[in-house]
Amino acid sequence: MSDTTGQDQQRNMRRVALTSLAGTSIEWYDFFLYATAAAVIFPIAFFPQEDPTTALLISFSSLAVGFLARPLGGIVFGHFGDRIGRKRTLVVALMMMGITTTLIGFLPTYASIGVAAPILLVLLRFVQGLAIGGQWGGAMLLVTESAPADQRGWYGAYAQAGAPLGVVLANLAFIGVSSSMSDQAFMDWGWRLPFIASIVLIGISMYIQLKIEDTEAFRSLSDAQSVAEKPTETVKRSPVLEAIRKYPKRIMLAAGAFLSVQVTFYILIAFVISYGMQSPNLMLSKDLMLTAVLIAAAIMVPTQFYFSGLSDRLGRKNVYRWGAILTGIWGFALFPLIDTGDPLFICFAITMGLLFLGMQYGPQAAYFTELFSTEVRYSGASLGYQLGAIIGGALAPTIAVLLWDSFGIFYVSVYIAIAALLTLLSLSQLEETKGTSL
């Protein structure tokens, strides 16, 4: 009987993990489609300017709008995730993202409706930010709160792997569409197809709603509160405010620990594409840069699982810390390798950067889960994650363009190193959490 029960639990855990992986992959695919399009399509289709650098800066600034919305999404979805459950909140976030991204695919361009086009695009990007702000906490907790304590890092990687897989899917979509038609057709209408394809996310949302149960940790908390004579009113009223009251320092340190990942990630998946295409010494093709990022992101996935599993044995902080150190150092090798113009060196440069990020991003799900108590975990973890995202990732490509244009590409490497240093300082103030009971 116990063997049968154990096998059932293991099968259920695998189903939860794979479903979370599928949902987050498509969700991040939607979010990263915009990042890729902001580098390649939107400067022409929605933000036309006489100076290409100005158009690129405006386009990357619209990318930042999604990050501005992410903390708000974390607050709203965190509130309901801690009150009504991880699963239902995740389903709403996935549905919102699927519908919004599909609408971008049907949006008229600047040439068709003038200034209304970029305004509508920015509004839809804001809704994307709300959705991603809610998605991460739900998907991450659905997996980590269901996982065995000694495998929490490993299973948390299923939620985290959605990010690099989203990059792979987004770049594959653009490469596949652009290679099947002329450049003119791609710029005219072909770019819309990857956005419209995100309607698949709505189907995944329905599957989660119908087939996946909420986590045992949340169900236990909900049962305990329902039988208590006097439930804790502060948590019942606002888990977000309670998380801020109980863990203000921990939320800010979690945000700081995320800076290295966010700054470097968006430089590696968005800025380097523009750098390769527009640098006077390179002038590389769009497909070459997209393919290099695609290969690097694909390699990031298994290494992320490895380092997440390693954190179950060596501790979250140890693996995370070395990832930040190596990321800061690698920033100074990144652009000299890209400047060779050799496809192998370019791919190697981006791959190693994402590999070192995987040492941080992989264990992060388990680490952030273990930093907060169950009644405010969705809110606390989401706030730390999304504040780090807005501080680190929102303007990373824009700042990189300004540094490159004003001072030279070396200072983009300095920017990466400073972000890594801030992450290390934040980690030094956080405790090790491996083995913490949820």
DSSP string, 357-368: HHHHHHHHHHHH
18 assigned to some structural domain: yes
Nearest to 52 by CA among 65, 64, 42, 66: 42
Which residues fall within 8 angstroms of residue 110, CB to CB, at 6 or more apart? 45, 46, 47, 48, 117, 118
128 assigned to some structural domain: yes
438 assigned to some structural domain: no
Q: Residue 329's pLDDT is what?
A: 98
434 assigned to some structural domain: no
16 assigned to some structural domain: yes
Task: Using a cut of 0.85, tell me whether the model's pTM lies above it.
Answer: no
* Number of domains within the chain: 1
Q: Residue 225's pLDDT is what?
A: 55
User: Which CATH number goes with the domain that contains 344?
Assistant: 1.20.1250.20
Nearest to 346 by CA among 281, 403, 280, 272: 272
162 assigned to some structural domain: yes
- Classify residue 182 as exposed, middle or buried by CB count within 10 Å of its CB (0-12, 13-18, 19+): exposed
CB atoms within 10 A of CB 4: 8
Identify the segments of the chain with pLDDT beneath 50: 1, 229, 231-235
| Cβ-contact 241, 75 below 8 angstroms | no
Q: Residue 422's pLDDT is what?
A: 97
Q: What's the rounded Cα separation, in Å, for the pair 423 and 194?
A: 34
DSSP 8-state symbol, 431: P
432 assigned to some structural domain: no
230 assigned to some structural domain: no
Q: Residue 401's pLDDT is what?
A: 92
Task: State which residues form the domain around 349.
Answer: 2-221+235-427
Q: Residue 358's pLDDT is what?
A: 95
CB atoms within 10 A of CB 78: 29
Q: What's the rounded Cα separation, in Å, for the pair 201 and 261?
A: 26
Q: Residue 27's pLDDT is what?
A: 76
Q: Residue 219's pLDDT is what?
A: 56
Q: Residue 218's pLDDT is what?
A: 53
